[in-house]
Structure 1
Amino acid sequence: MAIYELRTYTVTVGKMNDVIALYKAEGWPALSKHPQKLCGYFTGDIGALNQLVHLWKFDDDADRRAFWAGVYGDQAFMNFAKQLRPMLQQQENKLLLGAPWGPNP
């Protein structure tokens, strides 16, 4: 059964444009070298304007752990993460299972 990981990063107020520019220049190029597990990235439009949300889909927990081990072992990604972390206030991760009805990504 697939599992989903919902990651929500709360960005320091006033830093979202810097975070977006950093993801475009370094984050996405580093992540795109790894197996495609991403369902999508999202930014808030109303409400929590300073949040970056991303949803990932994995075959199971072993797949999830192997993916992140590969990403965290990638020096280009770690260079990106080193620049990103000071602009974040909080990170929240949730593991989710698809409901047994309706569509799943």
Structure 2
Amino acid sequence: MAIYELRTYTLQTGKMAEATEYYQTYGWPALSKHPDRLIGYFTGDVGALNKIVHLWKFEDDADRRAFWKGVYDDPDFMVFAGKFRPLIQTQENQLMLSAPWGPTP
């Protein structure tokens, strides 16, 4: 059964432009080298300012753990993480299952 990981980063006020630059220059190039598990990245608008939200789909927990191990073992990703982490105020991770009705991504 597939699992979904929803990650929400709340950034320090005024840091969205810097975070966007880091993702475009370092983060996405590093992440795109790894297996395609991303459903999408989103940024906050009304009521969710200073937030970056991303949703990932994995086959199971073993797939999820193997994916993130590969990402965190990647020196290019760790360069990004070193630049991005100081911009984060809070991080939330949620693991979810698809509901038994409606569409499934």
Percent of matched pairs sharing the same residue: 68
RMSD between aligned residues: 0.4
Structure 1 residue ranges (4+ consecutive) displaced by more than 2 angstroms after TM superposition: none
Pairing 1:1-105 to 2, within 5 Å after superposition: 1-105=1-105
Q: CA deviation at 1:45?
A: 1.0
Q: CA deviation at 1:33?
A: 0.2
CA separation in 1, counterparts of 2:65 and 2:30? 18
CA separation in 2, counterparts of 1:88 and 1:49? 13
CA separation in 1, counterparts of 2:45 and 2:23? 18
SS of match in other structure, 1:96: strand
What TM-score do you get using the length of structure 2 for normalisation? 0.99
Q: CA deviation at 1:84?
A: 0.3
What TM-score do you get using the length of structure 1 for normalisation? 0.99
- How many residues align? The count is 105
CA separation in 2, counterparts of 1:54 and 1:27? 13
Unaligned runs of at least 5 residues, structure 1 = none
CA separation in 2, counterparts of 1:104 and 1:49? 27
Q: CA deviation at 1:104?
A: 1.4
Q: CA deviation at 1:83?
A: 0.4
